[in-house]
Chains A and B, each alone.
Chain A
């Protein structure tokens, strides 16, 4: 089966010439590629939406990971919003707290929906469930939010990477934030081209982000990078809706991300050997969690 689009340029062109939304093009491609019915495909995405919703709710109740490194921050941010003192705005902070909630659940080995990966799973739902309160979307529009995110993620995954081990955190939270920005634009009534602009604006600001998880866990700094990714997604979407465009076309931004990922040393690609993982405190936390040195950590299971 031939794919309908392999690049963002093709995706936007299809939406424009057929006068359809990005989410609709994604659904049609999925039907063509998998020979499944629209009902089946939409139902599966609705299930993903429900999983995301449950994870946000669970995280907002407060969870703690087994390592003890993360948990409880979503609750702190919600309490801060309620205090009425927030500077960056309640909507942004709500998205931030819901992104954090999802990733805290992930770190605690709870059930989440990878978007596009587990380490970056907070951004798309975090922004969605925050924007929901402002835009009052139907359930169908919420499902479409995920298809639009998926359409952009599909291009990234096939032309660059969505794996931290392959491309650094720019490939995970960078992709997720850019995908979310594009989806926010569609839900807010922007054009397909504006979705692409929002994607580019955000992705450009996530370029070069390394994957340096402390102790190799998807916790520090992953959870807070999801928080910032959610904030960037909202700002990027607003910029695109305001009419701001990216001087570098989206597909070239994705290509740049790919090349940056390939030239990143392996110490900065999820090996826990560089960056924050290699700081004195990062090392101390690793020793605290896994024992005195890595040798003993590896020996535990043999």
Chain B
């Protein structure tokens, strides 16, 4: 099921003009910011397919920047996102790409600051619903429907078991989980969608586990 809730059909409440190009784009930007964990200082946004063709007329550009500023789809400040970003000292650049992506509404968002960088690929699948398809080069499927944990770790035996045990010990249920790695024995990523919200205790516990290098969260 791509869509799970009636409010994905009747909704979202949003600033026009396009649910996929404005609201979906704002959500991709906001998820990127959530996963980055703080306000980025700069952003490079690559647009593909229909996004690349029509982003200005649809307000896709202001919507993505609005999302990076943590604005929701119905936040009227989306209209002034460029000015708001400038006021915060965030620089940004839009790069429409010629090359075809798998989905017609695809954005690759590269954001960063003095402490680090992050790259996220998101697709807007219609009606304001989006999915994250790639994070820092790792392919994944993240709907944004559920609270999610993203655990970057070294590809060693036992790490996955330790992480899932920590989650189970909080009485939490895993709704969906994916593990990807770039190369055997090197950096790997666990994407875990859970049914309930998690708290700082769990995040700190995960961070303290051996071979875990980074934990990001996505609240829904």
A-side residues, CB < 8 A to B, are 3, 6, 26, 29-30, 33-34, 41, 44-45, 47-48, 51, 65, 67, 105-119, 121, 124, 146-147, 149-151, 153-154, 157-158, 161-166, 171, 179, 213, 215-219, 266, 269-273, 289-290, 297-298, 300-302
> Which residues of chain B are within 8 angstroms of A171 by Cβ–Cβ distance?
126
> Which residues of chain B are within 8 angstroms of A33 by Cβ–Cβ distance?
4-5
B122 within 8 A of A: no
> Which residues of chain B are within 8 angstroms of A67 by Cβ–Cβ distance?
57
Bound form: Cα–Cα A17–B49 in Å: 45
Bound form: Cα–Cα A118–B15 in Å: 9
* A26: contacting residue among B4, B6, B78, CB under 8 A: B6
Bound form: Cα–Cα A162–B104 in Å: 14
- Nearest-Cβ distance from residue B22 to partner chain A, whole angstroms: 7
* B13: contacting residue among A108, A113, A163, CB under 8 A: A113
> Which residues of chain B are within 8 angstroms of A30 by Cβ–Cβ distance?
5-7
> Which residues of chain A are within 8 angstroms of B95 by Cβ–Cβ distance?
302
B13 touches A162 (CB 8 A): no
* A111: contacting residue among B5, B14, B50, CB under 8 A: B14
* Interface residues as binary, B53-74 with A (CB distance below 8 Å gives 1, 0 otherwise): 1101111010000000000001
B206 within 8 A of A: no
Known contacts A106-B16, A166-B104, A270 near B10 by CB under 8 Å: no
A117 touches B126 (CB 8 A): yes
> Which residues of chain B are within 8 angstroms of A153 by Cβ–Cβ distance?
9-10
A107 touches B16 (CB 8 A): yes
B11 within 8 A of A: yes
> Which residues of chain A are within 8 angstroms of B1 by Cβ–Cβ distance?
3, 6, 158
Residue among A157, A158, A297 facing the most chain B CB atoms (10 A cut-off): A157
A215 touches B57 (CB 8 A): yes
Known contacts A111-B15, A153-B10, A302-B95, A118 near B23 by CB under 8 Å: yes
Bound form: Cα–Cα A111–B76 in Å: 8
Instruction: Find the A residue at minimum CB distance from B93.
Output: A302
Known contacts A118-B17, A165-B104, A109 near B59 by CB under 8 Å: yes
Bound form: Cα–Cα A302–B94 in Å: 6
Bound form: Cα–Cα A108–B15 in Å: 9
A217 touches B104 (CB 8 A): no
Extra 10 A-B pairs, beta carbons < 8 Å, given A114-B127, A162-B127, A217-B57: A33-B5, A106-B17, A115-B10, A118-B18, A118-B128, A150-B7, A150-B9, A213-B54, A216-B53, A271-B104
Bound form: Cα–Cα A165–B95 in Å: 20
> Which residues of chain B are within 8 angstroms of A217 by Cβ–Cβ distance?
17, 54, 57-58
> Which residues of chain A are within 8 angstroms of B19 by Cβ–Cβ distance?
114, 116-119, 121
B8 within 8 A of A: yes
B57 touches A157 (CB 8 A): no
Bound form: Cα–Cα A166–B103 in Å: 9
B20 within 8 A of A: yes
A216 touches B10 (CB 8 A): no
A149 touches B16 (CB 8 A): no
Instruction: Find the A residue at minimum CB distance from B105.
Output: A165
A146 touches B14 (CB 8 A): no
* A157: contacting residue among B2, B23, B76, B94, CB under 8 A: B2
B54 touches A272 (CB 8 A): yes
Tell me the chain B residues, 125-177 only, with Cβ under 8 Å from chain A.
Answer: 125-128
